[in-house]
Amino acid sequence: MKKSALSAIVVLFLVLVAAQSATAQEKYTLKNTYPPGQYEMLMNMEMDMTIDMSGTNIPMQQKQTQYVAIDAAEKNADGTQKVVMEFTRVVMDQKMSMGNLKYDSADPDADESPLKALGAMVGLKITTVLDEDGNPAKIEGADEFFDKLLNDPNYPKPVAEMLKKQMMDESLTKTLDIAREMMPKEPVAVGETWKTEGTSELPMLGQVKTNSENTLKDVKTENGRKIAVVSTKSVFHSDELNEMEAVPGVKVTWTKINVTADTTLLLDIESGLALSNTSDTEMAMETSISAAGRTMEQKISGKGKTTVTVTRQ
């Protein structure tokens, strides 16, 4: 009897170990999609930086919130899908040594703020056509919006020209596409790591390379949904000098771009919806600004935090 009882305990122990091992090896297919429906995206950005302009240090703190309405259509027969994003509100709070500035596009007195140019984003509606694999295949709406802005007599034309030049299709789709680029090509288990890399054309910075290391940290259950927790460490850098004309007569040359980011993504595994994306960044950048025959060196260093949340309406 004792021997039988001991054998039963050993068998039970082995079964439990096998069950735990099977659970630990479970793999998940992670993909980022927009299930048909309407959503609100809230993007909160905080930045604490120091700008060194020819030896003069200028501290600056900046908080910005962008509200974006998203309408994801049903997929077509060929698997393509239209996702419409519309910027509905912009809020900015900027603190510098020379004073504080505030802006809220929903404020009736917003046009009196020195930051009123930020309001140009309100009303911008971008339609992205996703192919059958969920990749952005076509962008619509941006050119029409900026052309309208260029013809607005109440809006500074140089600023409108700068925005149209900088807000190219690729930089606009990054807002929609950032979580998709973090996804692994194959199913992964908790604790598994994979690498991703890419090249982006970003406003003000030009061509920037990205190298990321991603890890599936956890899979948890919330309200009956399995949520993947993906941790990412990224390095953004440029190996080439990036030149741009910020405004007519002012040329900016980026001589150093080095940004690191630690990101945590929460992804609904079944639907593919990215529920939230939080990034802590550190930056060190250097520029050379030329205007009216003079050149001034500028160094920018600081830390930032960006949180993007998506809520279904």
Question: Domain count of the chain?
Answer: 1
Residue 170 confidence (pLDDT) above 60: no
Residue 190: inside a domain: yes
* Backbone Cα Rg of the chain: 24
Confidence of residue 54 (pLDDT cuts 50, 70, 90): confident
Looking at every residue in the chain, the average pLDDT score rounds to 82
Which position has the higher pLDDT, 227 or 20?
Answer: 227
Residue 23: inside a domain: no
Residue 185: inside a domain: yes
pTM score, two decimals?
A: 0.80
How far is residue 20 CA from its own chain's centroid?
36
Name the nearest CA neighbour of 279 among 45, 33, 34, 41: 45
Residue 53 confidence (pLDDT) above 90: no
- Distance set, CA 77 to CA 74, 80, 113, 128, 132 (Å): 10, 7, 48, 17, 10
8 Å CB contact between 127 and 82: yes
Distance from C-alpha of 309 to C-alpha of 105, rounded to nearest angstrom: 20
Which position has the higher pLDDT, 20 or 191?
Answer: 191
Name the nearest CA neighbour of 227 among 242, 217, 212: 217
Q: What is the pLDDT of residue 189?
A: 94
Give me the domain span that covers residue 79: 29-312
3-state DSSP of the chain: CHHHHHHHHHHHHHHHHHHHHHHHCCEECCCCCCCCEEEEEEEEEEEEEEEEECCEEEEEEEEEEEEEEEEECCCCCCCCEEEEEEEEEEEEEEEECCEEEEEECCCCCHHHCCCHHHHHHCCCEEEEEECCCCCEEEEECHHHHHHHHHCCCCCCHHHHHHHHHHCCHHHHHHHHHHHHHCCCCCCEECCCEEEEEEEEEECCCEEEEEEEEEEEEEEEEECCEEEEEEEEEEEEECCCCEEEEEECCEEEEEEEEEEEEEEEEEEECCCCCEEEEEEEEEEEEEEEEEECCEEEEEEEEEEEEEEEEEEEC
Tokens of 94: 């900027």
Query: 4-13, 28-37, 107-116 — which is least confidently predicted?
Result: 4-13
Residue 5 confidence (pLDDT) above 60: no
Residue 68: inside a domain: yes
% of residues, the chain, pLDDT over 90 = 37
Q: What is the pLDDT of residue 297?
A: 83
8 Å CB contact between 183 and 31: yes
Residue 198: inside a domain: yes
How far is residue 169 CA from its own chain's centroid?
15
Phi–psi pair at 202, nearest 5 degrees: -110, 150
Q: What is the pLDDT of residue 253?
A: 78
Most confident of 114-128, 208-222, 291-305: 208-222
Residue 24: inside a domain: no
Residue 97 confidence (pLDDT) above 80: no
Compute the Cα dihedral for 10, 11, 12, 13 and give only its sign: positive
Distance from C-alpha of 254 to C-alpha of 236, rounded to nearest angstrom: 14
- pLDDT tens string 216-264: 999 999 988 999 999 999 998 776 666 766 566 777 777 777 889 999 9
Tokens of 288: 């050379």
8 Å CB contact between 196 and 188: no
Confidence of residue 15 (pLDDT cuts 50, 70, 90): low
Q: Any idea what the Cα angle at residue 230 is, between residues 259 and 305, rounded to 5°? A: 40
Residue 18 confidence (pLDDT) above 60: no
CB neighbour list of residue 109: distance below 8 Å, 6 or more residues apart:
none
Query: 76-90, 146-160, 215-229 — which is least confidently predicted?
Result: 146-160
Q: How far apart are the first and last CA of the chain?
A: 63
Residue 7 confidence (pLDDT) above 70: no
The mean per-residue pLDDT over the stretch 106-115 comes to: 86
Residue 13: inside a domain: no
CATH number at residue 218: 2.30.230
Residue 144: inside a domain: yes
